Amino acid sequence: MSTAGHQLIYDDSCGFCQRSISLLRRLDWFNTIEPVPMSAAVDLMARHFISLDAMMAAMHLVTRQGKVYAGAEAVREFGLRMPLLLPLAVAMRLGFVLRLAKWAYKKTSANRYKISRGLKCKAGGCLIHRKH
């Protein structure tokens, strides 16, 4: 287990997901989350009974205590550990906010490859072309 203690498994074949992890690293001032690419997480996924289908539907946060959170719940849990995400994470404790977050996460996750193409994402990151 890493010194960060909490491991976030993400889809490393998705440019949008890679970009999101890059942003998350900048927000994680206290280095509490260790991003783990899905391609390198076979053992971690097996230890915590996370199926490939579940991983393709949502990122998963494995806490140092071994508790597993997926999707919007994972966002809420790692948000509680990052000062800039704390207000969002606290708001997500309200049922209606969490339901909205789950809906938004599900839509984003289902369309992440389209989003990647729209943002011109490749292994090195995403480019957003703006017309001036």
Residue 125: inside a domain: no
Per-residue pLDDT, 111: 87
Q: How many whole angstroms separate alpha carbon 5 and alpha carbon 36?
A: 12
Residue 128: inside a domain: no
Residue 132: inside a domain: no
Residue 124: inside a domain: no
Residue 123: inside a domain: no
Per-residue pLDDT, 116: 76
Q: What is the mean pLDDT of each run of 10 residues along the chain (132 residues)?
A: 78 89 93 95 96 94 96 95 94 94 93 78 49 38
- Determine the structural domain holding residue 89 and report its residue range: 6-118
Tokens of 43: 């053992």
Per-residue pLDDT, 128: 46
Residue 46: inside a domain: yes
Residues β-bridged to residue 8: 35, 61
Q: How many whole angstroms separate alpha carbon 76 and alpha carbon 91?
A: 9
- A 10 A CB-CB count for 122 gives 11
Total number of domains constituting the chain = 1
Residue 25: inside a domain: yes
Residue 129: inside a domain: no
Per-residue pLDDT, 103: 96
